[in-house]
Amino acid sequence: MNLKSPPVLPTSSACKSGMTFIELTAGPDDAAITEPIRDDAFLIALQLQACPDFDLYEDGRLIRPREFDAGAVAIFDLRTNLSIDRRDPFHAVDLYIPRKSLEALAEDANSPRIDELRHEPGRALHDPAARHLLLAIRPALSAPTQASELFVDHVAIALATHVAHKYGGMRARSEAKAGTLARWQERRAKELIAANLAGNITLAELSKACELSIRHFTRAFRGTTGMSPHAWLLNLRIEKAKQLLANPRCTLIDIGLDCGFADQSHFTRVFQRSVGMSPGAWRRLQQR
């Protein structure tokens, strides 16, 4: 945007979204045509002051902006080689939303993937919810080092969820089929199991993360994956072991321990039952 050091507030690493708030200000001396911006993301912008005189270019196509009054909200698709011919001063607070963040929201909501946000390019919107959420982040933008990460994350997720519902067609979370996990529950359970190959996570912790009772979770996990959580864990251990066996410098003892088995005997027994041969025989076969 060719602007000097605008205030920026990224969401925290715990949020895992890549969303970022930014406050953009340009005065009379900042008139310019920006370089084309291309990114797999959207920008949700609140106009803090009217900006009637500027032009937009999407993939080189001229778009005459409309209704960019103070308090209006606009959606910019950054996948379109967007450039701006600035002639008027402007002041805006924006939320940068990678498309992958919208996809994650849709998956958590058990909703179809979001590829587009419905909007008319160059036309600002009357959206009180988005306006108030973007206004709420302004005090934090004025003192980024003192801002609460939790607050920034919550506002970003609230605004992205609102945008996904209103402009991306995301439906409210629907129930999974009887006896199965919803997609967000399946993803969360598999991520937790994969992060704890040593088996340090309990069924109680997994079911709590999926907001289910232990009995319901165990039945639904089997209905979704075709195996129990423990069998899924063992399968992940075997797959990791196969990857490590490809490295001749890794010993069988080290591989077994790295994959969460109690000892080499336990590793060999489970591997043989699953693959039909011992880890050493499987390694030799792959090498040949």
175-226: same fold as 8-168?
no
For the domain 8-168, what is the CATH code? 2.60.120.10
Q: Is the pLDDT of residue 198 over 90?
A: no
DSSP bridge partners of 57: 62, 83
Q: Is the pLDDT of residue 116 over 80?
A: yes
- Residue 21 backbone phi and psi in degrees, to 5: -90, 145
CATH 2.40.50.140 applies to domain 232-288: no
Q: Measured on CA atoms in the order 142, 145, 151, 153, is the torsion positive or negative?
A: positive
Domain ranges of the chain: 8-168, 175-226, 232-288
Q: Is the pTM of this model over 0.85?
A: no
Rounded-to-integer distance, Cα 240 and Cα 254, Å: 12
Closest CA to 126 of 72, 49, 168: 72
Of 6-20, 53-67, 222-236, 273-287, minimum mean pLDDT range: 6-20
Between strands 90-98 and 32-33, the pairing is: unpaired
- Note the pLDDT of residue 232: 93
Q: Spell out the CATH class of 175-226.
A: mainly alpha
- Note the pLDDT of residue 97: 96
pLDDT tens-digit map of 53-82: 888 999 889 998 889 999 999 999 999 998
Q: Is the pLDDT of residue 192 over 80?
A: yes
Mean pLDDT of the chain: 88
Rounded-to-integer distance, Cα 183 and Cα 40, Å: 24
Closest CA to 81 of 39, 123, 120, 37: 37
